Amino acid sequence: MKNFAAHAISFICHPSFVAILATFLITLHSYKNLTAAFMWAFVMVFIVLVVFFFELYGIKKGFFSDLDVSKRNQRRPLFIFVFMMVIIFMGSIYLFHGPMDLLAGGIYIIAGIVIFILVNRQIKASVHVGALSAFFVSMALLFGGIFYLGLLFIPLISWSRVVLHRHTIPEVVVGASLGISLTVVIYIVIQYFNL
């Protein structure tokens, strides 16, 4: 039962789902238009699927061990591929006059990828925990209200990643710390420069 719950939590809180939900909510907030929110979320679904198929290809060719890319030395190619896909996503936002908040989100994701690449040299920080932490902290800072309750998911996803033996406690703590600190720093910069 414990493993089933951990698998379910880990699946639901996957960074891909977080990216899709964040895209939807940011677009909805920017445009106050459900159709636009669904459209940009659909674009993100496409990006996520391309990354998923890249991971499947990597597993087939043997340079990834599994869909979680559990081995630290295998993560760099995935990070670089995701980096390129975010650039493509940002290009589509610019080209099709999408929400500037999404463009800022893309810059934020790129900063996170670079930081995770650097940290990954020393420790396999949990991207699941980092992405979920960044998502709920940014949503709480931007929108308040019910999103503060989302912060309770951070220890829950951390627990699931440890129970599944995908990460150690230090790795989930580093992931959460990176997600939270990057979000707070970017929020302070945006507030300070009134962006």
Tell me how many domains the chain contains: 1
Q: Residue 156 — very low, low, confident or very high, per pLDDT cuts 50/70/90? A: very high
The whole model's pTM is what? 0.91
Q: How many CA atoms lie within 13 A of 61 on its CB side?
A: 8
The pLDDT tens digits for 119-153 are: 999 999 999 999 999 999 999 998 888 889 999 99
Q: How many CA atoms lie within 13 A of 126 on its CB side?
A: 32
Q: What is the pLDDT of residue 195?
A: 65
Burial 113-138 (b: 16+ CB within 10 A, else e): bebbeebbeeebbbbbbbbbbbbbbb
Write down the residue that tokens 């703590």 correspond to. 173
The parent domain of residue 119 ranges over 2-192
Quote the mean pLDDT of the chain.
93
For residues 53 and 49, what is the distance between their CA atoms, to the nearest angstrom?
6
